[in-house]
Amino acid sequence: MSGTLYLIPTYLSSANDRSFLAPMVLDVIKNTSYFVVENVRTSRRFISSLKLDVDISSLRFEVLDKNTSYEKADKILNPLKTGENIGIISEAGLPGLADPGHMAVAYAHRHQLKVVPLPGPSSIQTAVIGSGFTGQQFTFHGYLPIQKSDRAKAIKNLSRDLKATGYTQVFMETPFRNTALIKDLVAHLDPNQQLSVSADIFGEQEFILTQSVKEWKMSNKDLHKIPAVFCLGQLP
């Protein structure tokens, strides 16, 4: 018998608690002893916050992050083949979206092992449905380039692709660079295009705002160090 790979959702905000997770998620966590995680410290804290009467010290944690090689990932996931269940935990939301959890899923499929995605919050999906833009066709670009010239080119491409296809363009940024990103967006986008920002989703500072790029240029919203998802799109 081989084990099962569970894709375990986590909170989108530190203000969240176990009420944000489905009962089946709590049940899987309570009955799993081996977790492959992006960060051990935050994953231990997350499991502890659920108050499942689990002895945290008895659990095994292995790190799978952006620096993990495929060879190392294969080694830490090998217990699946000998019957051990493994839970994948990312830093926020669903594993595999804008994080390295996909490597674990790829391993499972290569070895014909069972993969079970558990229901939970996705900042990307929430931002799209909260934007007022079409969710029928959208493109997720992940994180935009850091270098200023590359970022300017990427932003102009987003604007061009929206005009050419009508597809909602979705992207993210590291929270401490949000202010700089907004400045670059209003500098390089068509001022009449619509930009939606979903910040601190499900958190105490949550706001979701869709307005034109020229209105964002005059806005004084402070996004510094606040997790956010950005959507460029068209209103009906």
Among residues 119, 117, 135, the alpha carbon closest in space to that of 127 is found at: 135
61 forms beta bridges with: 35
Which amino acid, residue 39?
A: N
Q: Provide the residue ranges of all domains of the chain, joining segments of one domain with +.
A: 4-117, 123-233
Is the distance from CB of 32 to CB of 86 less than 8 angstroms?
Answer: yes
* Distance separating alpha carbons of residues 137 and 183, to the nearest angstrom: 27
Residues of the chain with pLDDT > 70, as a percent, come to 100
Average pLDDT over residues 62-86: 95
Secondary structure of residue 5 in the 3-state scheme: strand
The angle that helices 178-188 and 148-165 make with each other, rounded to 10 degrees, is 60
Angle, alpha carbons 158-168-120 (nearest 5°): 120
Is the distance from CB of 213 to CB of 191 less than 8 angstroms?
Answer: yes
Please indicate, yes or no, whether the overall pTM of this predicted structure exceeds 0.95: no
The confidence band for 99, taking pLDDT boundaries of 50, 70 and 90, is confident
Among residues 198, 200, 206, the alpha carbon closest in space to that of 171 is found at: 198
pLDDT tens per residue across span 150-200: 999 999 999 999 999 999 999 999 999 999 999 999 999 999 999 999 999
Per-residue confidence (pLDDT) for residue 14, from 0 to 100: 87
**Whether residue 98 has pLDDT greater than 90:** no
Reading the block at residue 93, the tokens are 């939301």
Looking at the domain 4-117, which fold is it?
Cobalt-precorrin-4 Transmethylase; domain 1 (3.40.1010)
> What phi and psi, each to the nearest 5 degrees, are found at residue 119?
-70, 140
Among residues 184, 215, 178, 211, the alpha carbon closest in space to that of 195 is found at: 211
Q: Please determine whether the domains at 4-117 and 123-233 fall in the same fold group of CATH.
A: no
CATH class of this structure's domain 123-233: alpha beta
Average pLDDT over residues 49-57: 96
**Whether residue 1 has pLDDT greater than 90:** no
Whose tokens are 């979705």? That residue is 170
